[in-house]
Structure 1
Amino acid sequence: MCILVDTLHHYAGRNPRKFVKICHPVAVILGLATAVLLFLVQMLHVAPQLLSDVLCKLYWMLAIFIMYNILGNMLACYRATSSVASLPEDRQVPATEEKHLWHYCDLCQKMSPPRSWHCKLCECCILKRDHHCIFTAGCIGHNNHRYFFWFTFYTALGTGLCLVSTFILLVRNHLALQLINFSTFLDTLLFTITLFAWVATVVMLSFQIHVVYLNNSYYQILDRTYDLGIRSNCRIIMGQRGLWTFLSPTIKSPLPHDGTQWKRRHSE
């Protein structure tokens, strides 16, 4: 996995535009195809064998809710831009009292707010840039961090449920049949794919929980400069409605500021 990530970083650095044209569509299609495949297999193959009619209907409701939040937050992530250029024109230049906090970006050739830095793939500076995500085809920053957090959360939850139910079905069928046939082979393959997807998502979610907890970013994971306490940190990323945003990506939850002014821990 580390070798794959390093290879992608190297290629993205050398050929950013080609990387975006190739890897973004491939990653998005792969992610969507995996989500739809696991959903259909779970609801049409696994759940009917394990659950009663009533429980199966409840499971359908839960699965649809999870899929709605995975796809909804993924789309919201893509549509919400965190570029410095998205700011109103009067906020794209620092006020006199803030000028010493801003820095000059040689690539954009203009001043950028604190905690923003340039992304070669997006070809612009991103407000409170966390990282560039190929599965949402863009940078995760100040305006869409909330959506990415819930995207990873519900993906981890969904793959976790798939993992548990597939494992139970696999064990039950193996004990009942006492042999390996084509059906158990497919279940084993499904379990392996789900396990890989779950581990990868849980790793990413663990980073994001840490990011929300300390109000830092993926590339500055140990930084506590802007840690204002868990409640304030959560509100900065999730908006005024905080953790209630887990219900739906369509919930309006205005952020406390535009991403150019950041209160430091020592000035709390």
Structure 2
Amino acid sequence: MCIVVTYCEYYAHRFPKKFVQIVHPLSTIFVVGTIVFFFWMQMFLIAPQVYNDFGYKLLWIVVIFIMHNILGNWIACYRTNSSVEILPKESQVPVPEKEHLWRFCDTCNKLMPPRSWHCALCNCCILRRDHHCIFMATCIGLNNQRYFIWFAFYSTFALILSFATFVIYFARVGCSTLLSPDIFVILLLNCICGVQRDRSKESLFQTTVFLFNIVVLLIPGSMLAYQIQILWRNSCYYKINDSAYDLGFLKNCKLILGQRGLWTFLSPFLKSPLPHDGTKWEMMPQSN
């Protein structure tokens, strides 16, 4: 994963326009394709064989709620602008007593608020920039980090639920290779040689999808792990251990998620205005 991230960062800095033209559409197709595929696989193939009538209907309600939040937060994150340019003209200039806290951006050729950094892919400075996410096809910053956090949370939760449903399914059909340490070797032999080392009822396709489920889970899972640390410290991806702006977990939640804090998990459409415009940041009191 680290090698992939490093290569993407290198290519993005060398060829930003080409990177956006190629990687953003591909990552968007991957996200949409993965969501649709697992929804179809679980709700129409696996879940009907795992849950009874009441459980299956209850699962539909849960999955609709999850899909509402995955797709809603994904679209909202992409459409919400966090660039410095959206600020009113008077807010794009520091007051004299705060000017020393602002930094000069050589690319934009003007002063930028604290915690704002330039993104070569977006070609602008982003308020409280966290990082540029290829899966969102935009920068994560002040105004859209709320949506990114809940997208990562619900994507992780959905894939864990899918994983659990697969485990129950395989247990019911009598699969003995599922929990075997050499399951990857077994799958490889099945693919290359057609060798069947187990006579259980599971299909090669279902086993492959189960393994794909595990691999894909690492993507939003790692995103969520980082975002929890960022929320805990009020930091950002590139300075994840920086606690200079840590004002306590609950206040951090309001600064990042808005006035409604953790209640924003209910829906991306829940109004939760941020306490300020991202030009002034309160720092943690220094101990003597």
With normalisation by structure 1, the TM-score equals 0.96
Q: Which amino acid aligns with 2:230?
A: V
Residue number in structure 2 paired with 1:215: 234
CA displacement, residues 125-147 of structure 1 (integer Å, 9 cap, x when unaligned): 00110000011110000000100
Pair 1:250 & 2:269 matched: yes
Q: Which of 1 and 2 has greater Rg?
A: 2
CA displacement, residues 3-54 of structure 1 (integer Å, 9 cap, x when unaligned): 2221111111100000001100100110111011101110001110000111
Q: 2: CA distance between counterparts of 1:165 and 1:49?
A: 10
Q: 2: CA distance between counterparts of 1:12 and 1:2?
A: 15
Q: 2: CA distance between counterparts of 1:170 and 1:108?
A: 56
Residue number in structure 2 paired with 1:179: 199
User: Alignment RMSD, CA only?
Assistant: 1.6
Map 1:24-63 onto structure 2 (within 5 A): 24-63=24-63
Helix, strand or coil at the partner of 1:73: helix
C-alpha displacement at 1:2, in angstroms? 1.9
C-alpha displacement at 1:171, in angstroms? 3.1
C-alpha displacement at 1:199, in angstroms? 2.0
With normalisation by structure 2, the TM-score equals 0.90
Q: Number of residue pairs matched?
A: 267
C-alpha displacement at 1:175, in angstroms? 4.0
Contact 2:72/2:268 (CA < 8 Å) preserved in 1?
A: yes
Q: 2: CA distance between counterparts of 1:167 and 1:190?
A: 12
Q: Which amino acid aligns with 2:12?
A: A
Residue number in structure 2 paired with 1:125: 125
Q: Which amino acid aligns with 2:157?
A: L
Q: Which amino acid aligns with 1:13?
A: H
In structure 2, runs of 5+ residues without a counterpart are 177-197
Contact 1:166/1:190 (CA < 8 Å) preserved in 2?
A: no
Pair 1:8 & 2:22 matched: no
Going by fraction, where is helix more abundant, 1 or 2? 1
Map 1:67-146 onto structure 2 (within 5 A): 67-146=67-146
C-alpha displacement at 1:267, in angstroms? 6.6
Contact 1:128/1:259 (CA < 8 Å) preserved in 2?
A: yes
Bigger mean CA offset, 165-174 vs 115-124: 165-174
Q: 1: CA distance between counterparts of 2:71 and 2:267?
A: 11
Helix, strand or coil at the partner of 2:135: coil
CA displacement, residues 41-86 of structure 1 (integer Å, 9 cap, x when unaligned): 1000111000011110010110111011000000000011110001
C-alpha displacement at 1:201, in angstroms? 1.6
Contact 2:173/2:200 (CA < 8 Å) preserved in 1?
A: no
